[in-house]
Amino acid sequence: MMNTGKDILYASKVILEGKLVAFPTETVYGLGANGFDPEAVVRIFEAKKRPSFDPLILHIGNIGDLEKVYEKPIPKLVTDLAARYWPGPLTIVGRKSSLVPDVVTSGLPTVGVRMPGHKIALELLKLAGVPIAAPSANLFGRLSPTKSAHVREQLAHVDYIIEGGKSTIGIESTIVAVIDKTIEILRPGAITANQIKIDFPGIEVRVSNTEDHIQAPGQLKSHYSPVKPLYLVDKEPDVLPDNAGLIVFEPESLTGNYNNRVAILSKKGDLIEGASKMFAALHDFEADINVKVIYAIKVREEGIGVAIMDRLKKGAFRFSDKSADI
Ligand code: TXA
Ligand code: MG
């Protein structure tokens, strides 16, 4: 049985003993270890079955910790991004300091850093007093967890799980790299490219084309994947097999009267609400023995729709050789 509870002080001690703590953030649950303790960090890779070439991000609880994790001088654009969006769902990749062990960054000279906007996560970070390395608390390549039960379903080797209810955003942070004086978006999230352009007029904001080059395994074509086939469809299917589950973000367009399991993620068709429930709906269908195949109706790639479609396409990719025609 795994150890789940709300004792943040205890959790901070577990971290300082070099063990693993799963904790809630506003994006998804993280699987944390002391980011300055290489042996503890190795345990994360083992628990997730994550390949060692896939770097981890560090979480900090104080803006003063920026100096510990990034090489000095820290570019002004990095501190400006942090000031604008932290605590919040933005991970900033910059040159790492010598204090950050190579195992965290998989040998890269850069490190991703985020100050989460979640009370429990911030308190844990403050009590532990060290940066916490934390990927999403799922097995490598699988669905991200948005509640503690999702963590227990996938991970057997976690020393303590902090119970913190549902993640409110429900989709992983936006990752940006600051390169010279430009911002490159490596992973779309709740903070959109448009938002960053509005907030940083005059700064070039590029969206990296994941087809051209792979900068990070989060940019691999297959990721965030359920164990059952996931197919993306343009509109409501005319006929749905009995053993199918259907994920709907925008129910206005829905006309069918199905016997099937239909997960309507937002009655109003609000994509921010839909994003927050997407991984939970996929987890539910993954666990439902009556569901053998999952369909999701695509959304427009605008605003948070970009992040939703990024996760859905990667989740569906390994099934894309088979036909989605029904
Ligand atoms: O919202 C989030 O970011 C969550 C919560 C727990 O904070 N964390 C998370 O971590 O999603 P993870 O490891 O599942 O995804 C981080 C991604 C990975 O795809 C990794 O390859 C990429 O960030 N990454 C880490 N360090 C990087 C670096 N130095 N350069 C480029 N990409 C990096
Ligand atoms: Mg992940």
Question: Which tens digit of pLDDT belongs to each residue from 182-228?
Answer: 999 999 999 999 999 999 999 999 998 654 455 565 566 778 889 99
Mean pLDDT of 30-45: 98
Kindly report the number of other CB atoms within 10 A of residue 62's CB atom. 13
Pocket of ligand 1 (CB under 6 A): 25, 27-28, 30, 54-57, 91, 93, 105, 108, 110-112, 114, 116, 134-136, 172-173, 175, 186, 215-218
pLDDT at residue 141 above 50? yes
From 48, 91, 103, 215, the mutation candidate for ligand 1 (largest count of ligand atoms within 8 A of CB) is 91
- Residue appearing with tokens 């570019």: 75
* pLDDT for the residue 253: 77
Lowest mean pLDDT among 103-112, 146-155, 258-267: 258-267
- Residue appearing with tokens 């989060």: 218
Query: Measured in angstroms, how far is the CA atom of residue 35 from the centroid of ligand 2?
Result: 17
From 192, 186, 151, select the one nearest 23 (Cα to Cα). 151
Average pLDDT along the chain: 93
From 120, 90, 102, select the one nearest 55 (Cα to Cα). 102
Residue 216 CA: nearest ligand 1 atom is 21
Distance in angstroms (rounded) separating the CA atoms of residues 273 and 303: 13
Residue 31 CA: nearest ligand 1 atom is 6
Work out whether strand 182-187 and strand 174-179 pair parallel, antiparallel, or are unpaired: antiparallel
Lowest mean pLDDT among 180-184, 229-233, 237-241, 248-252: 237-241
Per the CB < 8 A criterion, the answer to whether 193 and 306 are in contact is yes
- Ligand at minimal distance from the CA of 35 is 1
pTM metric for this prediction: 0.94
* pLDDT for the residue 209: 63
Mean pLDDT of 151-178: 97
Distance in angstroms (rounded) separating the CA atoms of residues 243 and 96: 49
- Ligand at minimal distance from the CA of 26 is 1
Mean pLDDT of 89-108: 97
* pLDDT for the residue 325: 47
Alpha carbon 47 to chain centroid, angstroms: 17
Residue 275: both structure tokens together? 């994003």
Question: Which tens digit of pLDDT belongs to each residue from 99-109?
Answer: 999 999 999 99
From the CA atom positions of the chain, what is the Rg in Å? 19
